[in-house]
Amino acid sequence: MKPTAKNYIGWYGVLAILLAYILVSFSVIVTKSVAYQLLNLTGAVGIVIEAAAKKDAQPVALNIVWATIAVIALIRIAA
């Protein structure tokens, strides 16, 4: 099966969320940083795009919540 753009977007999402977790775990960034929240937001959106294309409801639901949390956190950081 040939990878599609949605596959690459989904893999970006996985890697972005993992990178955010790694960077926080090793105290490179903090959870209240824009970088951390943007990695979580864009990662969650990437996973939603691929999971929705596959009609896989559980990761779509989880990552919509994940992205919403990141958006709220970004708004709070900006305020």
Percent of residues, the chain, with pLDDT higher than 70: 99
Q: What's the whole-number mean pLDDT along residues 15-36?
A: 98
HEC profile for the chain? CCCCHHHHHHHHHHHHHHHHHHHHHCCCCCCCCHHHHHHHHHHHHHHHHHHHHCCCHHHHHHHHHHHHHHHHHHHHHHC
Instruction: State the amino acid at position 51 in one-letter form.
Output: A
pLDDT grade for 58, boundaries at 50, 70 and 90: very high
The reported pLDDT for the residue numbered 54 is 95
The model's pTM is 0.93
